[in-house]
Amino acid sequence: DFWQYPYTVLGREIPEWENKIKIELTQDFLASVRTKYVLGIDSFDAIVLRPITGIIEQFEKTKTNLLFNATVIDYPFVQRLFDYQTNLFGSQSIYHFLNAGAWIGKTDYCRYFFDDVVTMESEVVKLPDDNPHYAVSEQLRVQFAFCKNYPSVLIDWGCDVFQVLHSPKHYPEEFQ
């Protein structure tokens, strides 16, 4: 509202919320998007701090198709996803884990990617069933699709576009 940009809120009408619902809602929404780029942001814990033109300029500098927010924690934890992301960006930044709550991408590629995310259900069902977060996590499905689609999909490990500040105990003292 502050920037006076048009936006769409997805999922308001869903009484029994699970995060993995975001995948289908995103797919459905992307089918109607007619802009070159699309930005997805979790609604309750995110704010936009610069004009959209600045966000797009930063995204274009990445020379990628889709860019996800980065965070310092890998959630929910799966060793091979942890290792993959740490090996890619861990030496460059403490912000080297994908956070599916904020992303920007080329609309056509986003359609492809989120269709691919749906196919990651087969990876999730292979995981041990001792973590209740696995079954409902959109984050896991997105992380598996990220691994498959890297480097067409990147993590904003330099926090040039996105900055997450939840879970302060994991951050450097100056951020706490």
Predicted pLDDT at 2: 84
Predicted pLDDT at 102: 94
Within 10 A of 66 (CB to CB), how many other CB atoms are there? Answer: 23
pLDDT, tens digit, for every residue of 75-103? 899 999 999 999 999 898 888 999 999 99
* Mode of pairing for the β-strands spanning 37-41 and 66-71: unpaired
Predicted pLDDT at 171: 59
Judge residue 139's burial from the number of C-beta atoms within 10 Å of its C-beta, 0-12 exposed, 13-18 middle, 19 or more buried: buried
Q: Which two tokens stand for residue 15?
A: 């009484």
Helices (H), 31-165: 52-61, 79-89, 107-119, 121-125, 132-136, 138-149
Ranges 10-14, 124-128, 130-134, 136-140: which has the least confidence? 130-134
